[in-house]
Chains A and B, each alone.
Chain A
Amino acid sequence: MRETALWVRPLRHLFLTALCSLIAFPFFWMITSSLKTNDEIWSVPPVLWPEEPLWGTFLAAWQAAPFGQYLLNSIMVAAVIVLLQMVNSAMMAYALTHMHFPFRGALFAIIIVTYMLPASATYLPAYVILSELNLIDTYAGLIISNAVSVFAIFLVRQAFLQLPKELAEAAKIDGAPHWRILWTIMVPLTRSTFVVMGLITFIGMYNNYFWPSLITKSPELYLVSAGLRSFFVEGGAYGMNWPLIMAGSTITILPLLILFLFAQRLLMKGVSLSFGVNK
Chain B
Amino acid sequence: MNWRKKLGEPAAYGYLLPALIPLALFWIAPMLYVVYLGFTDWDFMSPDKTWMGLENYRELLQNEDFYKSLRVTLLFGLGTVLPVMAGGLVLASLLQGKLRGKAIYQAIVFSPWITTTVAVSIVWSWIFEPRVGLANGVLRMLGFDGVEWLQSSVWALPAVIIVSVWQSMGWAMVFYLAALQQVPQDLKEAAAIDGAGRLRTFWNVTIPLISPTSFFLFIILWIQSFQAYDQISIMTQGGPAGSTRTLLYLYYQSAFERFDVGEASAVALVLVVLSAAFSLLSGWVSRRFVHYTN
Contacts and interface: CB of A to CB of B under 8 A. Distances in A.
Given A12-B99, A120-B248, A144-B22, A125 B109 contact: no
A253 B119 contact: yes
A123 B125 CA distance: 27
B86 interface: no
Contacts of B140: 45
Given A121-B34, A153-B19, A228 B116 contact: yes
A253 B13 CA distance: 41
B52 interface: no
A150 B132 contact: no
A246 interface: yes
A122 B19 contact: no
Given A122-B34, A271-B174, A148 B23 contact: yes
A206 interface: yes
A264 B170 CA distance: 12
A101 B8 contact: yes
Interface stretch (B24-32, B54-62, B153-161, B204-212): B24-32
A271 B176 CA distance: 12
Given A129-B30, A253-B119, A118 B23 contact: no
A267 B119 CA distance: 21
Contacts of A239: 125-126, 129
A226 B174 CA distance: 29
A26 B166 contact: yes
B115 A253 contact: yes
Contacts of A92: 15-16, 18-20
A98 to B, nearest CB: 9
Interface string A16-40: 1001100110110110010000000
A163 to B, nearest CB: 17
A92 B95 CA distance: 39
Contacts of A246: 122-123, 126
Interface of A is mostly: helix
B220 interface: yes
Interface of B is mostly: helix
Contacts of B177: 272
Contacts of B109: 19-20, 23
Contacts, number: 263
Contacts of A100: 8-9, 12
B91 interface: yes
B79 interface: no
Contact of A30 (B100, B114, B123): B123
A168 interface: no
Nearest to A12: B94
A79 to B, nearest CB: 17
Contacts of B76: none
B78 interface: no
B290 interface: no
Interface string A243-279: 0011011001100110010001101100110010001
Identify which of B116, B119, B127, B248 gathers the most chain A CB atoms within 10 Å of its CB: B119
A125 B37 contact: yes
B152 interface: no
B251 to A, nearest CB: 7
Contacts of A87: 18
Identify which of B108, B122, B234 gathers the most chain A CB atoms within 10 Å of its CB: B122
B125 to A, nearest CB: 8
Contacts of B261: 124
B265 A178 contact: no
Interface in A210-256: 210, 214, 224-226, 228-229, 232, 239, 242, 245-246, 248-249, 252-253, 256
5 contacts: A23-B111, A92-B18, A148-B23, A226-B118, A246-B123
4 closest A-B pairs by beta carbon, nearest first, are A101-B8, A125-B30, A122-B30, A125-B33
Interface of A: 1-2, 12-13, 15-16, 19-20, 23-24, 26-27, 29-30, 33, 41-46, 87-89, 91-92, 94-95, 99-102, 107, 110-111, 114, 116-129, 144-145, 147-148, 150, 153, 178, 203, 206-207, 209-210, 214, 224-226, 228-229, 232, 239, 242, 245-246, 248-249, 252-253, 256-257, 260, 264-265, 267-268, 271-272, 275, 279
